[in-house]
Amino acid sequence: MLNRLRPALAKVVTPIGRTLARTGVTPNMITVTGTAGVAAGALLFYPRGELFWGTVAITAFVFFDMFDGAVARVTGKTGTWGAFLDSTMDRVGDAAIFAGLILWFTGAGDDAPLAWLALFCLVAGVVISYAKARAEGLGLKCDVGIAERSERLIISLVAAGLHGLGVPYALHVGLSLLAVLSTVTVAQRFHTVHQQSSAGQVAS
């Protein structure tokens, strides 16, 4: 859904990408640094219950990670390795966020329902990403879904941040909503792939 905003976002990100490119920073360096920052923020702050500051740290590195594509475009350093690295690092960052929440809720946070919700969202996110990758590997299109990575990331971070500020049931509502939207997205992708495979369609 948020993919529709990419053209407008590119107008803001591209000039910053040009500036970063002049420093000699490569797209892959940005990708790895962004992921390392997200993982560090999630695994250092969340397990200690510091959800607000953890979310601030994660969000900062998520924004930083947005510039890898811009730098790649302005330097002409786009390619399969960069695309593979970016996608794989996204999975690492997502896993770290939910792992941090699970560690808190199974530890001092002592909230089993939220731990299970976080675990469900983690697994659902993996299935969503794998379904698309596997479908495209088979020559099929699978770019549908009400909750792609951007939407899932926003919901989880906003919920965690509000919970850290003491807003009652913020994570309960956020993770429940994310679980529902992720389930719908998985169903949408399964349905889309099933339709194409049944009709014998193969993307050219």
Active site residues: 90
Inter-axis angle of helices 80-105 and 112-137, to 10 degrees?
160
Residue linked to tokens 């730098």: 71
Q: Is the distance from CB of 41 to CB of 61 less than 8 angstroms?
A: yes
Structure tokens at 35: 């992921």
DSSP state of 108: T
What's the chain's length in residues? 204
129 vs 142: CA distance, rounded Å:
10
